[in-house]
Amino acid sequence: MEAYLVLTLALVFGLYMAWGIGANDVANAMATSVGSRALTVGQAIMIAAVFEFLGAFLAGGEVTSTVRKDILDVSSLASEPDVLICGMLASLLAAGTWLMVASHYGWPVSTTHSIIGAIIGFGIVAVGADAVYWGEVGSIAASWVVSPLLAGGLAFFMFRSMQRLIFEQDDPLARAKRYGPFYAFLTALVIALVTFLKGLKHVGLDISPTLAIVYSLLFALGIMSVAYVVISRLQFSDVEDSRFREVERIFGVLMVVTAAAMAFAHGSNDVANAIGPVAAIVSVVSTGEVMQETALPPWVLLLGGGGIVLGLATYGYRVIATVGTRITELTPSRGFAAGLSAATIVVLASGTGLPISTTHTLVGAVLGIGLARGIGALDLGVIRSIFTSWIVTLPVGAVLAVVFYYILSAVLF
């Protein structure tokens, strides 16, 4: 098969998969902001367009490496590179198709489940079950359970700290003015640390750990200063009955920081689901060998980031409604705690190369907020339907990948 045709298909299918990620997983980045009414859908799209792209481009390389080469042992395909190319194309098409269906119905499914399930499905029929790195898959699967538990626990304690430090005090507005910038500092510090320590090496900048920490602290202090200035300029009502509403206005400002952080975190982790297979195809085409690894071309990260933004802008509103409004009632303070907790877990996973489910992480964080308010604050019916969609995603991705693999093999190879 001609190299230009292979690369064209990889580009188109990768863009399709990235579009599906934007259409479905945008809820993970933006749902808490929109659901708490801190941001409009239009504002959320603009923020996400910038920070999803930056997260994908600056910090997406670690997880891309995992999806690209750590799920399947392809050494037995050394003499059959076309099989690997066909399988990766089928995986992209399968995962993208399932995401399109799920997005249409507003189901917040895991794009990580989708693409890894697809790669496993292709690997079993094309290479054999023994070729799957089940140990690696097991650690990833464990993260799908651990990440929502960690995010839920962190969100629970984050919200409880806000209740203790702010809402349960005699003058919650004064306390919110005092502690609000500190929460903004925490958010910015998490994002900056992962970017400076891990992300920038993928665009040619290798910063020492000491400098990375210094730069991160300076960046976080800068964001804290901006938050302090913005909050201090807000005009507040003197009516005592409105003090909690005024506190929520402050967290509405902080939600802009959290929304940017969550979008960055989402882009850094989930871009790999689209471009990991694309990177594998590009490597095979450019070297002619299955096992030879090449540097990740910047245009591949650009493709992933651009596709995510496109999906977000055109179809993302459907899933936003499910995660942002139906699990539990969100206010800006609750949404802030959920978003900061989820972003922290996701960016730390991105820095270590572990492709966790952003969907599971954010839903876990929202559940943690609901539990902090009492079990009655949760819509258990919606939670049950979400869990069901999670369970079916991996096998559906695997089955679709097998179907598309045989179709592409018959038509193209």
Tell me: the pLDDT tens digits for 101-115?
Answer: 988 887 778 887 888
Does 306 have pLDDT greater than 70?
A: yes
**Structure tokens belonging to residue 215:** 């730069």
pLDDT at 401 over 90: yes
Closest CA to 87 of 114, 63, 113, 120: 120
Proportion of the chain above pLDDT 90, given as a percent:
13
- CA dist., res. 26 & res. 23, Å (int): 6
Instruction: Please state, in angstroms and rounded to a whole number, the distance separating the CA atoms of residues 82 and 277.
Output: 14
Lowest model confidence (mean pLDDT) among 55-59, 87-91, 227-231, 404-408: 55-59
Report the C-alpha gap between 94 and 320 in whole angstroms: 23
The pLDDT score that the predictor gives to residue 293 is: 60
Dihedral sign for Cα 45, 48, 53, 56, please: negative
- The pLDDT, as a whole number, for residue 64 is 53
Give the pLDDT band of residue 192 (cuts 50, 70, 90): confident
What number of other Cβ atoms are within 10 A of residue 134's Cβ?
Answer: 13
Find the mean pLDDT for residues 222-235: 89
Structural domain count, the chain: 1
What whole-number percentage of the chain has pLDDT above 70? 85
Tokens of 239: 């009516």
pTM as predicted: 0.77
Q: Which residue has the higher pLDDT, 242 or 383?
A: 383
**pLDDT confidence of residue 351:** 67
| Torsion sign across C-alpha atoms 213, 217, 220, 222 | negative
* Torsion angle of C-alpha atoms 310, 315, 319, 324, degrees rounded to 10: 70
Angle at 158 between CA 35 and CA 356, to 5 degrees: 70
Nearest-angstrom CA–CA distance, 59 and 194: 8
Task: List Cβ neighbours of 221 (8 Å cut-off, separation of 6 or more).
Answer: 185
pLDDT above 80 (res 191): no
pLDDT value at 222 more than 80: yes
Question: Could you tell me which of 117, 126, 127 has the C-alpha nearest to residue 92?
Answer: 117
Note whether 192 and 346 are within 8 A (CB). no
Separation CA 147–CA 343 (nearest Å):
11
pLDDT at 402: 96
| Mean pLDDT score, 153-170 | 89
Higher pLDDT, 142 or 399: 399
Residue 274 contacts by C-beta under 8 Å, 6 or more apart in sequence?
A: 14, 15, 17, 18, 21, 92, 115, 303, 304, 307, 308
Interval 64-82 mean pLDDT: 70
243-287 vs 298-315: helix crossing angle, rounded to 10: 140
Question: Angle formed by the axes of helices 332-352 and 134-162, to 10°?
Answer: 150
Give pLDDT tens digits for 355-398: 677 778 888 888 888 887 776 667 777 778 777 877 888 889 99
Q: Which range marks the domain in which residue 155 is found?
A: 3-412
User: What is the pLDDT confidence band of residue 291, given thresholds at 50, 70 and 90?
Assistant: low
Q: What is the pLDDT of residue 406?
A: 94
Of 75-84, 219-228, 288-297, the poorest mean pLDDT is in 288-297
- According to the per-residue pLDDT averaged within each range, which of 51-60, 88-97, 387-396 is highest? 88-97
